[in-house]
A and B are shown apart, each in its own frame.
Chain A
Amino acid sequence: MSGWESVLTSGIVLGSLYALMASGLTLVWSTLGIFNFMHGVLMTVGAYLAWQFAVDRGFGLGLGLGIVLAVVCLVALGCLVEILLIRPFYGRKDLVQVTVMTTLAGLTFLENSTLLIWGPRLKQLPPVVEGQFRLLGLTMSNQEALIVLLSPLILLALWVFLRFTRVGNAIRAVGQNRESAQLMGLNVQALFMTTFALATVLAGLAGVLLGSIRFITPTLGSDPLTKALIVSIFGGLGSVGGSIGAAYVVGMLEATSVFAFGLYWTPSILFVVMIVVLIFRPNGLFGRQS
């Protein structure tokens, strides 16, 4: 029984993180129509920024202020990336392919930049809360519990923003029909930049949460990126809601597989499942025809 408890716990924790990652990835895909390979490294940068601002070895401003300042930097970084790596290519027919390459180059650039700036030494963010607790027979560290609670709250905030605000509705509209949006006077360029900055913040926040339970390294984001990619395929890339659901499915699947087949086989199993899903559902498990 204790085995299944830990499967459930780690499945929920993983799912929460993946949901945060995948929501940003899908938001960019469904609005800008590009796949952002930098999403993982933006997460890493978010963790490093928060570390830099927060801990005593950095600027020592404390965790709360550190996270706020990190978010400010992430917004600026997101805008910069959109202007330099994505905007120049909007009109092109091969937009998807070109931006795969530019965001890959951006990934290389930022990954090595973090290595240069922060060095290869492992870093870790202090946990917001210490200790652990038990609920319904599940044991979880308080920090993990915070992740499980915070992640849906952030996603809820995202949903409220997209659903009930003027800019949020405009972002959804631009993704669904760019020409009509332009003819209504929506500033498509500004909306794209806002979307990308928003996704960058979501990635960075995932990084901050992950950075408190794992060590921060320049490649912190590469595994979560891969997982977010699997999640997006399950969710069909089209809808933010679909990928959030898929994130928890993948999190549980991964935890179950670790328990049943071991750590080594788990990634292979996830990839096989993903490929099989795509053979039968070329637009993702929950996806629609695009």
Chain B
Amino acid sequence: MSAAPPILETHQLTGGYGKVQVLRGISIAVGEGERVGLFGPNGHGKTTLLKTISGLMRPWGGSIRFRGQAIERSSPGVIVGLGLIHVPQGNTLFPELTVQETLELGAFTPRVRANKAQNLERAFALFPRLAERRRQLCKTLSGGERQMVSISVGLMCEPRLLILDEPTLGLAPKVKDELCEAIGVISGGGVSLLLVEQDIEFLLALTDRLFMVDHGEVTREVRSETGLDHAQIMDLYFGVEARQ
């Protein structure tokens, strides 16, 4: 385990939609400044886990602690205020808002309101392309640009932990590289990272430790630096499919 005390810790977390249980007792931990990845087949609870952590969904049981504070009953607004920022999957953003309006809304939480201008400059420095398109409506942006806006919105909230749900979904390799570099810069600045991603190269490049989520449970924990390579991960995937 990581030496630093965990910034995020879930214990025996259960949850789901209506009567359908998706999470079957998930316990994971992300250390301070650590970069953790989640992988596993689609539809096995990764997105549900993230939504439960960020307060969009109420857990059925178990606990979630963020910086030592229990947050399993908190509203998304409170959780954002604490610095846990979740950038959702396939983000459609606000089609009729401009890039700048969207980013400024990212600083809605009182904690970061005063630093709005400064954070905006930082986001534009990270993604210069957004600075050019600041007056454009979000619906006119390309998929990669939208993902950049989504991540920048997260930065506007000054995250302590940034959760990204499949940021490269449907993006071209060149854009992926660009995003990979930007996310590296963000985590290099001391922000902890929880990343869900299907692109294994992308995941391995950005994380220190991986959890495999399968059927709503953590079935394996691996450390990237122990020399886990692409082929081994693929084996894990195929192992999963073989068991189904």
User: Do A and B contact each other directly (Cβ–Cβ < 8 Å)?
Assistant: yes
* Chain A residues in the interface with B (C-beta under 8 A): 166, 169-170, 172-173, 176-177, 179-187
Asked whether A182 lies within 8 Å of B101 as measured between CB atoms, the reply is no
Q: Per-residue 0/1 for B104-144: is the Cβ within 8 Å of any A Cβ (1 yes, 0 no)? A: 11101100000000000000000000000000000000000
In the bound complex, CA of A173 to CA of B100 (Å): 13
B176 shortest CB reach to chain A, Å: 22
Inter-subunit contact B94/A180 (CB<8 Å): yes
Residue B222 lies at the interface, judged by CB distance under 8 Å to chain A: no
Given known A-B contacts A183-B54, A183-B76, A186-B77, A177 and B94 have beta carbons under 8 A apart:
yes
State whether B96 touches A184 (Cβ < 8 A). Answer: no
Task: Give the Cβ gap from B72 to chain A, nearest Cβ, in Å.
Answer: 16
The answer to whether B56 touches A177 (Cβ under 8 A) is no
Residues of B within 8 A of A169 (CB): 97, 101, 104-105
Cβ of B184 < 8 Å from any Cβ of A?
A: no
Since A181-B105, A185-B81 are in contact, a sample of 18 more A-B pairs with Cβ atoms closer than 8 Å, ordered by chain A residue number, is A166-B104, A169-B97, A172-B96, A172-B97, A173-B97, A177-B92, A179-B56, A180-B91, A180-B93, A180-B94, A181-B94, A182-B55, A183-B54, A183-B85, A183-B87, A184-B106, A185-B108, A186-B105
Say yes or no: B88 contacts A180, CB within 8 Å. yes
Cβ of A170: which chain B residues have Cβ within 8 Å of it?
105, 108
Q: CA A244 – CA B95 in complex, angstroms?
A: 21
Contact between B94 and A187, CB atoms less than 8 A apart:
no
Report, nearest first, the 5 A-B pairs whose CB atoms are least far apart.
Answer: A185-B80, A185-B109, A176-B94, A182-B76, A173-B94
How many A-B residue contacts, CB cutoff 8 Å? 62
Q: Which B43-101 residues have a C-beta within 8 angstroms of A?
A: 54-56, 76-77, 80-81, 85-88, 91-97, 101
Interface: B212 (CB within 8 A): no
Chain A residues within 8 Å of B153, by CB: 184
Contact A184/B80 with A172-B97, A177-B92 known, Cβ cut-off 8 Å: yes
Let me know if A176 and B97 touch, CB within 8 A.
yes
B residues near A172, Cβ cutoff 8 Å? 94, 96-97
| Least Cβ–Cβ distance between B96 and chain A, in angstroms | 6
Q: Chain A residues with Cβ under 8 A from B92's Cβ?
A: 177, 180
**B195 on the interface (CB 8 Å rule)?**
no
CA distance A166 to B87 in the complex (A): 21
Report A-chain residues with C-beta under 8 Å of the C-beta of B105: 166, 169-170, 173, 181, 184, 186
Residue of chain A at shortest CB distance from B85: A183
Docked Cα-Cα span, A173 to B103, in Å, equals: 11
- Give A268 to B217 CA distance when docked, in angstroms: 62
Q: A170 CA to B105 CA in the complex, in Å?
A: 7
A148 to B236, CA, bound (A): 70
Question: 18 A-B pairs, CB-CB below 8 angstroms?
Answer: A166-B105, A169-B97, A169-B105, A172-B96, A173-B97, A173-B102, A176-B94, A179-B56, A179-B88, A181-B94, A182-B56, A183-B76, A183-B80, A183-B85, A183-B88, A184-B105, A184-B108, A185-B76
